[in-house]
Amino acid sequence: MEMNQDIRFARTLDASFYTDISTFEKVKESIFAKTWHWIADAQQLSLSNQVIPVQLYPGFLEEPLLVTHDNNGDLHCLSNVCTHRGNLLVKQSGVCNALVCTYHGRKFSLDGKFQFMPEFKKVENFPTQADDLKALPLMNWNNLLFTSLNPEIPFELFINEMQQRLSWLPIHKFRYEPLYSQDYLVNANWALYCDNYLEGFHIPYVHPSLNQVIDYNSYTTELFPYSTLQLGLAKNGEQTFDIPADSVDAGKKVAAYYFWIFPNMMFNFYPWGCSINIVKPIKQNLTRVSFRTYLWKPELFDSKAATMLEKVEREDENIVEQVQQGVQSRFYTSGRFSPDREQGVHHFHCLINKFLIGNLSVQ
């Protein structure tokens, strides 16, 4: 997985990264367990004593988690596994005053602290902190909730550039729209889907409708320590943001901000709102992509916009699935990068290499 930091000399990841089962397994702990992941929306926890179970990446990480809103107004992310015998505590979202295990009655408060256990009076040195539920870090960014199983890099280093660039945008007021939200199964490796997202090089060839809206010649990519921004400028007559004068993008006809956060989160901001895409590995050649639509100015989100999102997604799925078949060829090992168009893909591959070899010094 050696990666040349100079894109002019670098080669892409070896094809085996996308096909090898042992590499796919290594990615779990080396990359996904150490990075940050979106798990819920604070709007889902508007009530006191509300709890939401979350299975972090079914079929991959398989970590049962629980997000709670206690009666003090605090949000918590906890292990959803009882510390007695490993039973799952909460199976469905709801409201409760305490977490009570349905196996042997062990009881926890909504912040995960042990409260009570029947038939344990004779147990020595009990309870201890080990009897509390494991508490994970929970970060609230504009009502979007993120956690990490084993964070080695601060959340701020992943999100700062997006926060600073879009500080003028009232993201906390965006509202989830389930009608335009769905999951897609893609018969390809999760990283191939990210590779495709991280370059606009393919737009004229794969997305003819999008190419009529985006000014491809003005399409740019900006690199940050653990994220990228692709800035899509609009052709004349298309929807654009009303950008304040103190923004670095003032005066630009911005049609879309495409932010990618390592390793698998995509935040696509449009004049009407945001589409959040979470790329969830299942197998080395199977991925679930969760699309979640948030509306800011619903009057700008019409059937044309919805159709465009669906069309672009289907086109991406088709090309990525073709590539998955191609990288399995005995005649393909790796390729070269376009320094003008594939900076984002090269950056992604460098980060993968960095995490796999364990070189996680904070930048």
β partners of residue 228 = 223, 260
Of 93, 116, 147, which closes a domain? Answer: 147
Structural domain contains residue 167 = yes
Same domain? 84 vs 108:
yes
Same domain? 290 vs 346:
yes
Same domain? 177 vs 143:
no
3-state secondary structure at position 43: helix
Same domain? 71 vs 167:
no
Which domain CATH number covers 76?
2.102.10.10
* Cα–Cα distance for residue pair 295/275, rounded to 1 Å: 9
Structural domain contains residue 108 = yes
Same domain? 142 vs 167:
no
* pLDDT at res. 155: 98
Same domain? 178 vs 267:
yes
Same domain? 117 vs 172:
no
Q: Which residues make Cβ contacts (< 8 Å) with residue 258, sequence separation at least 6?
A: 197, 229, 230, 231, 232, 266, 267, 268, 269
Q: Which run of H or of E encompasses 30? A: helix 21-30
3-state secondary structure at position 277: strand
Q: Residue 72 to residues 133, 263, 265: CA-CA distances in angstroms?
A: 18, 34, 31
Which domain CATH number covers 210?
3.90.380.10
CB 177 within 8 A of CB 274: no
Structural domain contains residue 296 = yes
β partners of residue 269 = 257, 274
Structural domain contains residue 90 = yes
Same domain? 223 vs 352:
yes
Structural domain contains residue 30 = no
Tens digits of residue pLDDT in 82-141: 999 999 999 999 999 999 999 999 999 999 999 999 999 999 999 999 999 999 999 999
Tens digits of residue pLDDT in 224-266: 999 999 999 998 888 999 999 999 999 999 999 999 999 999 9
Same domain? 241 vs 320:
yes
pLDDT tens per residue, the chain (363 residues)?
689 999 999 999 999 999 999 999 999 999 999 999 999 999 999 999 999 999 999 999 999 999 999 999 999 999 999 999 999 999 999 999 999 999 999 999 999 999 999 999 999 999 999 999 999 999 999 999 999 999 999 999 999 999 999 999 999 999 999 999 999 999 999 999 999 999 998 999 999 888 888 888 889 999 999 999 999 999 888 899 999 999 999 999 999 999 999 999 999 999 999 999 999 999 999 999 999 999 999 999 987 888 888 999 999 999 999 999 999 999 999 999 999 999 999 999 999 999 999 877 655
Same domain? 203 vs 100:
no
Structural domain contains residue 8 = no
* Cα–Cα distance for residue pair 164/229, rounded to 1 Å: 12
* pLDDT at res. 43: 92
* Cα–Cα distance for residue pair 26/328, rounded to 1 Å: 19
The C-alpha R_g of the chain, in whole angstroms, comes to: 22
3-state secondary structure at position 3: coil
Structural domain contains residue 15 = no
Structural domain contains residue 319 = yes
Strand-pair category, 254-261 with 265-270: antiparallel
Of 123, 147, 171, which closes a domain? Answer: 147
Give residue 292's domain range. 160-356
Total domains, the chain: 2
Same domain? 209 vs 85:
no
> Residue 276's closest CA among 262, 287, 260?
260
